[in-house]
Amino acid sequence: MRWVSVWLMALIMIAGCSHAGLDKPLVVVLLSDDVRAPKVEGLRTGLQGLGYAPDAIVVDVLSAKGDRSTLAKLAGEARTRHPAVLVAGGGVEAIALKEAAAGQTPVVMMGVASTVRTGLVDSLLHPGGNITGLDNQHAELSAKRLELLTKLLPGVRRVLLLYDPQIIPGQHALEVTMEAARRLRLDVQPLQVWTLEQTMNELSAFQPGEYDAALLLPGYVLESGARNIAVQFDRLKLPVMGPLDLEGEGGLLAAYGVSMRDQGAQAARFVVKMLQGVRPADIPVETPDDPVLVVDLRMARKLGVNLSPVGMALAKTVLTEAGDRP
C-alpha cells in the first residue's frame, strides 16, 4: 500500500509537470445573413492587426442565411460551444445572443445601431451588462448622410426616406433625419419598409422625377434586399445615399459611415480586451472611429448628375470605371 501511494504520488507529479498546451480561445460569431460576412473578415483582420496570429484564436461563424427565425436556435448552439467570447454581427444577432448567453459569456456587438434605445446596453459609457461593442451610429449618422447628400448635390430638395418601422434603429434614424431635414430645409417623404415585396410594390408606384434623391435609413430588409430595391431606384433614376454597409449592393450614388469590414476590425479590440479578462461592463461602447464618404462616379454618370466639389472633398474613396481611386 505504501509503495502504491508513493508511485501514485510520483505519477501525479509527473502528470502535473507535463503542461499540456492551452486550448486556443474560441470566438463564435452569429450572423443573420451572409451579407454581413465582410464583418467577420474585418474581425479576423483586426485581430491580426492587434498582434494575434490567424491561428491564435479560433473564429467559428454561425449564419442564419437570411432566416431570422433560426437565430435563437443558432444563438443557443453558439452558447453550447463554450466560447470565450460571442460576437453578434448586428442588432438582431445581439438580442439573440444576449438572451442565449444569459450573462455567462461576454458578447461583442460587431456594429449595431441604436444600442441604448434597443436596450442592449444601459449607456455608451457604462454598458452595464455582459454585452458591449461597436455602435455603428447608423441612426445618428443618417442626419450627416442627408447633409452630405446636399453637399454632393446642392440642388436636392425633395428626398425620399426609406426606413424600417419594425426596428428601433429605423424609428430612431427617422427621428434624427426628420430633424436634420428641418434644419437643412428639405422636403422629405418617409416610406415605410415592412417587407421587400411591399417595398418593391410601393416603389414601383413612384414615377421618375417625383423626388430628387433617396436616403436609405438602417433596416434589415433594406440590407438584405438592397440589390432588388436598387432596381427600382435605377428605374426612378434616383441618386441614393445610404449607409456604407450597402456599398456595392444597393446601387448607391454615395455612402457614408463605416464599412462592414471596418466595423469588424474595430470590434476586434473588444474581443481582445475580453480575452485579456476585462469585464464587458467596464468597456464603454465605441462609436466608429473614422466614418468615410464613398462616391460612385459610375453611378453619377449613369444618373447624369454633377457632383459638387464641396461634397467630393470629403469623399475618401471614389469608384470609377477604372476601379477604386483613393
Partner 1 sequence: MKRWWGHLRAKVLAFGIVMSVMPLAIFGWFGITATESAQMEIVQTQNRAAATTVADELSRFMRDLKMPLGILAGTYGADLLRADGSEQERLLYTLLRDVPYLEEVALLDSTGLEHARVSRREITTGAEPAQYGGAPLWPKLAKGGPALSSVTLDVDGRPLMQVGVPLPDRSGALIARASLRGVFANIAAVRGAGGVRIHVADESGRLIGDSDFSLVLAGNQVPLPSDNDTPYRSVTGEEALGISAPVPELLWHVVAETPLDIAMAPVHRLGWEFGSGALALMTVVVVLSVIFGLQLAEPLERLEAGAKRVGTGDFSGRIPEGGRDELGRLASAFNAMTERLAIARQSEKLVAVGQLAAGVAHEINNPLAVIAAYAEDLADRLAEEGTAALEQEGVLGAYLAELQHQVRRCKGITRNLLDFARQGATESEPVDVGEIARQTVTLAGSRARKAGVAVRVDAEPGLPPVQATRDQLQQVFLNLIANAMDAIPGPGEICVTARRSGSTVNVSVADTGCGMDAATVARATEPFFTTKPPGKGTGLGLSICYGIITGLGGRMDLTSRPGQGTVVTFDLPVWEESSCAPTHS
Stretch of 59-67, 72-80, 230-238, 309-317 contacting partner 1, by CB under 8 A:
309-317
Distances (CA, A) of 247 to 59, 116, 257, 279, 283: 25, 26, 10, 34, 30
Q: Give the residue, chosen from 1, 4, 16, 304, that forms a contact with partner 1 under the rule CB under 8 A.
A: 16
Residue number with CB closer to partner 1 (226 or 305) = 305
**Is 322 among the residues that bind partner 1 (CB under 8 A)?**
no
- Does residue 320 interact with partner 1 by CB under 8 A? no
Across the chain, where does the E strand assignment appear?
26-31, 58-63, 85-88, 107-112, 131-135, 158-163, 187-192, 213-216, 240-243, 254-257, 292-296, 315-320, 323-325
Residue range at the interface with partner 1 (CB under 8 A); choices 50-58, 81-89, 160-168, 228-236: 50-58
Indicate whether 24 belongs to the interface with partner 1 (CB under 8 A).
no
- Among 27, 35, 97, 143, which residue interacts with partner 1 (rule: CB under 8 A)? 143
End-to-end alpha carbon distance in the chain: 78
Site for partner 1 contains 234 (CB under 8 A): no
- The angle formed by the CA atoms of residues 214, 249 and 292, to the nearest 5 degrees, is 70
Least Cβ distance, residue 215 to partner 1 (angstroms): 13
Minimum Å gap between C-beta 18 and partner 1 is 9
Phi and psi at residue 112, to the nearest 5°: -130, 140
# binding residues, partner 1 (CB under 8 A): 52
Q: Residue 315 CB, nearest distance to partner 1 (Å)?
A: 7
Give residues with Cβ within 8 angstroms of 140, minimum separation 6: 176, 287
Here's the x/- map for partner 1, 52-91, by CB under 8 A: it reads as x---------------------------------------
Size of the chain in residues: 326
CA separation (Å) from 300 to 23, 161, 250, 254? Answer: 52, 20, 14, 9
Q: Give every CB contact of residue 73 below 8 A, 6+ residues apart in sequence.
A: none
Sort strands 85-88 and 107-112 into parallel, antiparallel or unpaired. Answer: parallel
DSSP at 271: H
Residue 172 interacting with partner 1 (CB under 8 A) = no
| Contacting residue, 140, 202, 234, 249, with partner 1 by CB under 8 A | 140
Which range in 82-90, 107-115, 226-234, 266-274 contacts partner 1 by CB under 8 A?
A: 266-274
- Least Å from the CB of residue 288 to partner 1: 9
**Position 273 contacts partner 1 (CB under 8 A):** yes
Q: How many CB atoms lie within 10 A of CB 228?
A: 15
Region from 32-40, 124-132, 217-225, 233-241 binding partner 1, contact rule CB under 8 A: 124-132
Closest CA relative to residue 246, chosen from 162, 153, 159: 162
Phi/psi class of residue 11: alpha, beta or left (left: φ > 0; alpha: ψ in -120 to 50)?
alpha
Contact set with partner 1 (CB under 8 A): 3, 6-7, 9-10, 13-14, 16-17, 19, 49-52, 124-126, 137, 140-141, 143-144, 146-147, 150-151, 180, 183-184, 269, 272-273, 276, 278, 282-284, 286-287, 289-293, 308-311, 313-316
